[in-house]
Amino acid sequence: MTENAASTSPSPRSDPGKRGDNRLLSGAHFVPAAILAGGTVLYAMNLYFTAALMPSIVEDIGGQQLFAWVATGFLIAAVIASTLAARSIAALGARGAYLVGFCGFALGSAAAALSGSMEVFVASRVLQGLGGGLLAGLGYAVIRSALPQKLWLKAAALVSAMWGIGALVGPSLGGMFGELGAWRAAYAVLAGIAILFALLSVRALPGRAAAAPEPVPYASLAALVAAAASLSVAPMFRTAGFDGLAVAVGVLLLVLFLAVESRATHTVLPKLAFARGNELKWVYALVATLCAGVMIETYVPLFGQQLGGLSPVWAGFLGAALSLGWTGMQLVSVKFGPRIASSAMIGAPILLALSMATYGLLQAPEAGGARILAWAVALVLGGVAIGAVFPHLSVRAMGASADAAEGEKAAAALSTTQLIAYALVSALLGVFAAGGDGDAVVTAERISLGLAVITGVGVVPGLMLLRAARRGGRKVSLSN
């Protein structure tokens, strides 16, 4: 990052670092950092949170036949909103964009709390997804304008850690409200928290931006939404045998999306992602493969109960092992220098692939305590792999261009990449699981070894990023 580029990003109002405050979670930077983290964790925890509440919701208002659309509607809406994060900043400023995100999330949560039918509940989840997806995209994108450059790496680590924290706290909080039979109160609490963050945003974030937003790329967005929809509904067609077809259609639509993006004037992804010699495409590719490993968490609690005989509570704790490693490692990885951070780009996908394979090969019926502990260790190491590089990937995306608007767009696209990866891999895992024919051990092995192959592909973009770093291709330092 050039000195000139750094000077264009933070405004005087939003650069307390000029007063000598170099701490992220104390002093003048605390509230902006809390807003970035809070918006991300509200989104990240919501799928797990709602999944834990769904038995209580169906028992109360019915609508079992619409069960799958609760998650699908939320995910598709979130994908749409996350692609518009950078444009929201340009049109409304960081403050206005966050207000829209928090208020949309609060309105959706309030509607969920008041739902009298599953149709209304699904609609409320779509609104929640629009607000939450925007918040997820803003988490990375607003770092550049809300905080000084010397805190970008720490802030990126904080925002990245919130994805792990969401997976840690979502199931437990949802389960707690479910045990109390208070699912409506759960969504009312979410609405209140979102409103509180909206009020904090008014005082702590930069105001309206001077730049005009780009036109919305309707063709790209249509292909992306169609791809997300096809991938999200694939598990619904499992019993009819058409889940593989839905995944194939989704992949083809993703290819179409990339083809449209590479030729369009106005795009969802930064144009730099398609520029010859720019590393941004490799950043996104590595983010996608690392995020694939996270999806093991949707099955770990089930395997813990079926094969380990764990109670739902302890199975839930086992399911959070990867997120624990992810979150904890980021406290260490923010101190990595450029050489270690660049080398980790190759080491991380290798370690993650090995952890997935190890977890799968250790599956056995009636597993004892030692084997369950080995599962947990393998999952924690997988999280360590993700946490070792994720904040550095975020900073590399933010620094891919000296232009502040393109930097914000590159950072916002990180969340879009995550959401698309989650949708694709979730659908693929449904296909892998169906091939297990009801055998829990075979299903666990197929899912884990499949993820080992997918995450192992991350070595390719990791190698390209390491080569770029050695050529001096990085646009921003990764050190503190």
In a domain, 395, yes or no: yes
Q: Which of the two residues, 399 and 432, has the higher pLDDT score?
A: 432
In a domain, 257, yes or no: no
Q: Show the tokens assigned to 4.
A: 């000139």
The pLDDT of residue 5: 37
Mean pLDDT, the chain, whole residue set: 82
pLDDT at 259 over 70: yes
Residues 275 and 186 in one domain: no
Q: Show the tokens assigned to 204.
A: 């702590």
The pLDDT of residue 14: 41
Residues 203 and 300 in one domain: no
Per-residue pLDDT band for 474 (boundaries 50, 70, 90) equals: very low
The pLDDT of residue 119: 93
The pLDDT of residue 107: 97
pLDDT at 315 over 80: no
The pLDDT of residue 55: 75
Write the CB contacts of 69 (distance below 8 Å, at least 6 apart in sequence).
122
Average pLDDT over residues 41-62: 83
Q: pLDDT of 335-388, one tens digit each?
A: 888 888 888 899 999 999 999 999 999 999 988 899 999 999 999 999 999 999
Q: Which of the two residues, 191 and 91, has the higher pLDDT score?
A: 191
The pLDDT of residue 143: 83
Rounded-to-integer distance, Cα 349 and Cα 446, Å: 19
pLDDT at 177 over 60: yes
CA nearest neighbour of 452 among 396, 389, 381: 381
Given 178, 198, 215, the domain boundary residue is 215
User: For the CA atoms of the chain, what is the radius of gyration?
Assistant: 21
CA nearest neighbour of 135 among 42, 228, 223, 49: 42
Q: Which of the two residues, 60 and 278, has the higher pLDDT score?
A: 60
Residues 184 and 296 in one domain: no
Residues 75 and 151 in one domain: yes
Q: Which of the two residues, 27 and 123, has the higher pLDDT score?
A: 123
The pLDDT of residue 19: 43
Burial of 412 (0-12, 13-18, 19+ CB in 10 A): buried
The pLDDT of residue 478: 36
In a domain, 158, yes or no: yes
Rounded-to-integer distance, Cα 273 and Cα 289, Å: 17
Q: Show the tokens assigned to 91.
A: 């049109």
DSSP string, 437-479: TT-HHHHHHHHHHHHHHHHHTTHHHHHHHHHHHHTT--SS---
Q: Which of 159-163, 204-208, 222-226 has the highest mean pLDDT?
A: 222-226
The pLDDT of residue 211: 63
- Contact status, residue 441 vs residue 363, Cβ threshold 8 Å: yes
Average pLDDT over residues 134-155: 82
Q: Which of the two residues, 405 and 139, has the higher pLDDT score?
A: 139
Residue 460: CATH number of its domain: 1.20.1250.20
In a domain, 251, yes or no: no
The pLDDT of residue 113: 95
- Contact status, residue 37 vs residue 159, Cβ threshold 8 Å: yes
What angle in degrees, to the nearest 10, is found between the helix axes of 118-141 and 30-44?
Answer: 140
Rounded-to-integer distance, Cα 57 and Cα 269, Å: 37
pLDDT at 150 over 90: no
Residues 312 and 413 in one domain: yes
Residues 209 and 271 in one domain: no
In a domain, 410, yes or no: yes
Residues 180 and 286 in one domain: no
pTM, to two decimals: 0.75
CA nearest neighbour of 142 among 288, 282, 34, 273: 34
pLDDT at 17 over 60: no
In a domain, 254, yes or no: no
Q: What is the DSSP code (8-state) at residue 29?
A: G
pLDDT at 10 over 50: no
Q: Which of 66-70, 133-137, 280-284, 374-378 has the highest mean pLDDT?
A: 374-378
Per-residue pLDDT band for 284 (boundaries 50, 70, 90) equals: very high
Residues 433 and 309 in one domain: yes
In a domain, 242, yes or no: no
In a domain, 249, yes or no: no
Average pLDDT over residues 233-249: 79
Per-residue pLDDT band for 232 (boundaries 50, 70, 90) equals: confident
Residues 334 and 476 in one domain: yes
Residues 104 and 185 in one domain: yes
How many structural domains are present in the chain?
2
The pLDDT of residue 454: 95
Q: Which of the two residues, 306 and 404, has the higher pLDDT score?
A: 306
Rounded-to-integer distance, Cα 410 and Cα 223, Å: 19
Average pLDDT over residues 62-76: 78
Residues 281 and 200 in one domain: no
Q: Which of the two residues, 474 and 325, has the higher pLDDT score?
A: 325
Write the CB contacts of 16 (distance below 8 Å, at least 6 apart in sequence).
27, 28, 29, 148
Average pLDDT over residues 66-83: 81
Q: Which of 12-21, 32-41, 200-209, 315-324 has the lowest mean pLDDT?
A: 12-21
Residues 208 and 324 in one domain: no
Domain ranges, residue 34: 1-14+23-215
Query: Could you give the angle at the alpha carbon of 347 between the alpha carbons of 350 and 426, nearest 5°?
Result: 45
Average pLDDT over residues 303-327: 82
